[in-house]
């Protein structure tokens, strides 16, 4: 049984309280820093809401680029697998592996940026 409110809801409540009660009481020189904290809270909430879906999608695309078969990984193993594949992709790009045909890599990078923006800055996607 999960406790209510959950982590996502707690972040929302904390952010609303922070903006309504604490931010107005801060001196002007701390407002920018406080707004960054409030922004971090909303990003963390969106990350919780998104779960592992975008990370799983990114790993699937990377495995496709490398001709690897898919198998389920979660949590730390998922993030470790992503870090490994991203380091490999960076090495391959630096080595010129995709100079003759870069369409799959560009499609992957575009989708990855879109997924990251959906969490960190959804308004940044509106110019698509």
Instruction: Report the chain (128 residues): mean pLDDT per 10 consecutive residues.
Output: 83 96 96 96 93 93 93 90 97 94 95 94 79
Predicted confidence at residue 114, as pLDDT, reads 95
Predicted confidence at residue 127, as pLDDT, reads 66
pTM over 0.85: no
Q: What is the DSSP string of 60-113?
A: HHHHHHHTPPP----HHHHHHHHHHHHHHHHHHHHTTTTSS--HHHHHHHHHHH
Give residue limits of the domains in the chain.
7-50, 53-125
């Amino acid at each position: 049984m999960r406790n209510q409110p959950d982590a996502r809801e707690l972040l929302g409540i904390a952010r609303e309280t922070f903006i309504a009660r604490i931010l107005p009481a801060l001196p002007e020189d701390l407002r920018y820093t406080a707004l960054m904290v409030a922004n971090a809270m909303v990003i963390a909430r969106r990350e919780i809401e998104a779960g592992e879906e975008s990370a799983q999608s990114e790993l699937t695309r990377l495995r496709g680029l490398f001709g690897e078969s898919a198998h389920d990984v979660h949590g730390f193993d998922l993030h470790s697998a992503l870090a490994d594949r991203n380091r490999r992709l960076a090495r391959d790009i630096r080595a010129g592996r995709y100079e003759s045909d870069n369409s799959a890599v560009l499609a992957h990078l575009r989708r990855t940026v879109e997924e990251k923006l959906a969490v960190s800055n959804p308004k940044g996607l509106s110019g698509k």
